[in-house]
Chains A and B, each alone.
Chain A
Amino acid sequence: AQSVSQHNHHVILSEAASLELGCNYSYGGTVNLFWYVQYPGQHLQLLLKYFSGDPLVKGIKGFEAEFIKSKFSFNLRKPSVQWSDTAEYFCAVTLSGGGADGLTFGKGTHLIIQP
């Protein structure tokens, strides 16, 4: 079974700092990769996704992620964070073409942006 590791459980940054959140998955086959965000008190929303093609994907709110197949990684980046980016971030994976089985999530990274 696939698994997802998020290395940073808690990250505290100042506004305008650059952000990189690590995500590694363990599966040798073709995968679909996602980053979801959960703002305080809200449900999960999709930030970005990778299915195929250009390994650098851009999402909403200035976020981007790079898929590096050789490293089994899908790290999330943002050049300059804002206070409103304070949230929980989840990396998730599902098998490509695997039908309707669910997403496998990492344990999440709690990001706090200090004004």
Chain B
Amino acid sequence: NAGVTQTPKFQVLKTGQSMTLQCAQDMNHNSMYWYRQDPGMGLRLIYYSASEGTTDKGEVPNGYNVSRLNKREFSLRLESAAPSQTSVYFCASSENGLVYNEQFFGPGTRLTVL
């Protein structure tokens, strides 16, 4: 039982390049999330998927797109990377009961955009 896994762990991009961050969970959770973590800012929600087939914007969605490929996988795409997207990206999942909103986090992807 691996929990939440993310690939890659590290990535360096040049401005304008595109890439996709992958996330998978093996806990049979319905909901999945993408956050970014910046120094002094805490974690901010980029996008989330309440259930397979649905996605919604979070606090900071600009410059990103997501795909809920199936119940297990939720990817985050940067179409044209910018230096402001240099950050650590965390994927999370939760069971999504009405009360039980505890989220489980992956190990993160450290992205640098030059």
Q: Which of A9, A43, A44, A49 contacts B40 (CB 8 A)?
A: A9
Q: Are A99 and B98 in contact (CB under 8 A)?
A: yes
Q: Are A103 and B103 in contact (CB under 8 A)?
A: yes
Q: Count residues of B near A (Cβ-Cβ below 8 Å).
A: 31
Q: Which of B43, B48, B51, B99 contacts A51 (CB 8 A)?
A: B99
Q: Which of A46, A90, A99, A104 contacts B102 (CB 8 A)?
A: A46
Q: Count residues of A near B (Cβ-Cβ below 8 Å).
A: 29
Expressed in whole angstroms, the minimum distance between the Cβ of B49 and any Cβ of chain A is 8
Q: Are B102 and A43 in contact (CB under 8 A)?
A: no
Q: Contacts A43-B105, A107-B42 given; indicate if A100 touches B94 (C-beta within 8 A).
A: yes
Taking Cβ atoms with an 8 Å cutoff, the residues of A that contact B are 4, 9, 32, 34, 36, 42-46, 49, 51-52, 90, 92, 94, 96-108
Q: Contacts A46-B102, A94-B101 given; indicate if A105 touches B50 (C-beta within 8 A).
A: no
Taking Cβ atoms with an 8 Å cutoff, the residues of B that contact A are 30-31, 33, 35, 40-45, 48-51, 56, 58, 90, 92, 94, 96, 98-108
Closest 9 pairs (CB-CB, A-B): A100-B50, A100-B31, A102-B45, A105-B42, A107-B42, A44-B105, A105-B43, A100-B96, A43-B107
Q: Contacts A32-B99, A43-B90, A43-B107 given; indicate if A103 touches B30 (C-beta within 8 A).
A: no
